[in-house]
Chain A
Amino acid sequence: MTITKFLAGAAVALGLGLAGAAGAAEKTRVGFIYVGPVGDGGWTYEHDRGRQAVEAEFGDAVETVYRESVPEGADAERAITEMALKGADLIFTTSFGFMDATLAVAKKFPNVRFEHATGYKTADNVSTYSARFYEGRAVQGHIAGRMTKSNIVGYIASYPIPEVIRGINAAYIHARKVNPDVEFKIIWAFTWFDPAKEADAAQALIEQGADVILQHTDSTAPQAAAEKAGDIITFGQASDMAEYAPMPRVSSIIDSWGPYYVARTRAVIDGTWESQQVWHGIDEGMVEIGEISDAVPAEVKEEALALKTAIASGEYHPFTGPLKRQDGSDWLAEGEIADDGTLLGMDFYVEGITGEIPQ
């Protein structure tokens, strides 16, 4: 190849590259990093529904891209960087474990906006957003406490992070309130998504007497395991999981990300995007309670709905004193309400839960 040919080729390539960049600049590119596959039927599935809501809202003005099954850890940083390099204007990283990777990449790309789900670290171009899932957990705990016959509630936890611990506490407090004899058995799966392991965990809990299974992992495997065992009740996690209604799934917590994703994309298009920390609950519609099925007695259903209404209106907070920590020390005095700071960093069980939180 002669030098002139090479230069000509380079010039053409450069021209094409610039043209490509100009074409891309007209469209706002929104990227999503998922921790599981979009077909998990739970957590990632709902985030992807949010992405679809963005596409439906803006049509051709926006282009969305996503990467699924990105492991938490070193590989996440590579995946996020790749997305930023490809010209994304706004990137949603949708798992707690992407927190430091998101911050690290954000530092290198000051013009790209980042939104990290369920984390607590922000920067000028990094917002965090999360839902007050614990409000839904309170409702689940109420139903669980009222419906268990063995007084053993099984809980499949994922990782020992504040969000998961908060969920366990909220469910336990409200189960205990209606059933003083209730006991929680907790299994830490150390995974967000592994259907076989989740099914095994559910089975182990059932074999040890649990007749209610709560899960904080993303797949529907525990639902299937409960159905196979029979006469066990479960709750949909992150998504409605309605295919397992009316039994074993008697209700669910649904994460509704669509409106938030649409609003934030609009803010980028309008140039009004600013770093913020958002924590929405039942009231704002980010947490929805899936339909309570007929397997639940009418009066229990009524109580659960009343609890939901009270939480939504702000009349009742799921973490209202008197409450003690697991070690017996005082946490909240009579009538005192937990502040968001404590809740966001929650690293202790409330009184009555047995076992230790892994460090």
Chain B
Amino acid sequence: MNLGHIDPALLLAALLVAATPILLAAIGELVVERAGVLNLGVEGMMITGAICGFAAAVETGSPGLGFLAAAGGGAVLALLFAGLTQFALANQVASGLALTLFGLGLSSLLGQGYVGIKPPPTPHLDLGPLGDLPFFGTVLFSHDIVVYLGLALVVAVWAGLKYTRSGRILRAVGENHDAAHALGYKVVRVRILAILFGGACAGLGGAYVSLVRVPQWTEGMTAGAGWIALALVVFASWRAGRVVLGAWLFGGVSVLQLNLQAAGVAIPVEYLSMSPYLITILVLVIMSANRSRAPGSLGRVFHASG
């Protein structure tokens, strides 16, 4: 065993990177669920974003445009879900599952010509002297812009839901859509916008995997990250701050367990391997033991009557 081989600064830096895809997808899904819609298609939207972003970045040579296309691709797929659930009033669980299957198939079709190609590198944000700080420079100020964007998005969602008028309307729609409708709020419109936002976020998360974290295109490459994001929202009891904590915990323990293995720590590998799931769930469940409550209208079909 040699723990000295693990550099804590590099480990923490890797944590931020590993957490970013699920953080992005989870914060989008949080908004969707706070609006009272359960979209189980996160995995499908992520993988679609991964290939849309990858293809756009390769074709244009610009990772920025790639991320934009990824958000667009995820949102377009989400639009399909919105149409099914908000206009055709289809069952949300079934539609969401179908969306995941569809997204996986669509992405492998779109990705046919992109296997084995390298994307243009996403540059690290140059933060000048901050990047040269010992320890903190590596941990906090050596990342690409999407890492910071993800965190900014979380703050924006938190503040938006808590303090802005539109955030409160969104929550009202999610808590009790009949009451919100009676007050004159456009339930369907609010929900469609939330679903699109969720799709765009999931798309960004997917593109972060294909453009930065791996970086390459492989079929099925998100490998379940969307489902983890979904679980994270529930275990974080629909709170933005806890989603960040959950994503960091999950990303952090995932990276840590690999590092511990490489360092030859004498903990059985099976335990290390399951630790990210176990620890994340445990911590979040304990934290939200007393106040865990889903939005009142979550997953229920809204039909404006009377």
Residues of chain A touching chain B, judged by Cβ–Cβ distance below 8 Å, are 36-41, 69, 154, 185-188, 190-191, 193-197, 199-201, 203-205, 207-210, 219-221, 224-225, 227-228, 243, 354-356, 358-359
Contact = CB atoms under 8 A, between A and B. Distances in A.
A188 B262 contact: no
A197 B223 contact: yes
A191 B274 CA distance: 12
A195 B218 contact: yes
Given A190-B273, A224-B214, A224-B215, A154 B223 contact: no
Contact of B216 (A38, A191, A203, A221): A221
Given A224-B118, A228-B215, A358-B268, A196 B262 contact: no
Contacts of A358: 268-270
B223 A194 contact: yes
A187 B108 contact: no
A208 B219 contact: no
13 contacts: A185-B264, A190-B269, A196-B18, A196-B214, A199-B214, A204-B255, A204-B261, A207-B11, A209-B5, A221-B221, A224-B118, A243-B118, A358-B269
Given A154-B262, A208-B5, A355-B264, A197 B273 contact: no
B220 A36 contact: yes
Given A187-B258, A193-B223, A195-B214, A41 B116 contact: yes
A209 B259 CA distance: 12
Given A203-B14, A208-B262, A358-B268, A243 B218 contact: no
Contacts of B225: 196
A319 to B, nearest CB: 24
A176 B267 CA distance: 26
Interface in B212-234: 213-216, 218-225
A187 B261 contact: yes
A188 B269 contact: yes
In the A-B complex, list the 10 residue pairs whose CB atoms are closest, starting with the nearest: A37-B219, A39-B219, A243-B116, A358-B269, A204-B258, A194-B223, A208-B5, A195-B221, A37-B220, A187-B261
Contact of B213 (A187, A199, A208): A199
A208 B263 contact: yes
Given A39-B108, A196-B213, A185 B218 contact: no
Interface in B180-238: 209, 213-216, 218-225
B218 A201 contact: no
B261 A188 contact: yes
Given A185-B262, A204-B258, A207-B7, A196 B209 contact: yes
Interface in B103-133: 108, 111-112, 115-118, 121
B261 A219 contact: no
Interface residues of B, number: 42
Interface of B: 5-7, 10-11, 14, 18, 21, 108, 111-112, 115-118, 121, 209, 213-216, 218-225, 254-255, 258-259, 261-264, 266, 268-270, 273
Given A193-B220, A200-B255, A39 B115 contact: yes
B270 A359 contact: yes
Nearest to B10: A207
A195 B46 CA distance: 14
A200 B218 contact: no
A187 B219 contact: no
A38 B109 CA distance: 12
A356 to B, nearest CB: 8
Given A188-B269, A196-B209, A204-B258, A225 B214 contact: yes
Contacts of B270: 190, 358-359
A203 B224 CA distance: 20
A220 B116 contact: yes
Given A187-B261, A208-B6, A243-B116, A39 B215 contact: no
Nearest to B18: A200
A208 B259 contact: yes
B52 to A, nearest CB: 16
A333 B214 CA distance: 45
A105 B177 CA distance: 50
Contacts of A228: 121, 215
B108 A37 contact: yes
A209 B10 CA distance: 12
Contact of B258 (A36, A200, A209, A224): A200
Contact of B259 (A69, A186, A190, A204): A204
A239 to B, nearest CB: 10
Nearest to A242: B116
B216 A224 contact: yes
Contacts of A187: 258, 261-262
Nearest to B210: A195
Contacts of B215: 224, 228
| Residue among A36, A193, A195, A203 with max Cβ neighbours from chain B (10 Å) | A195
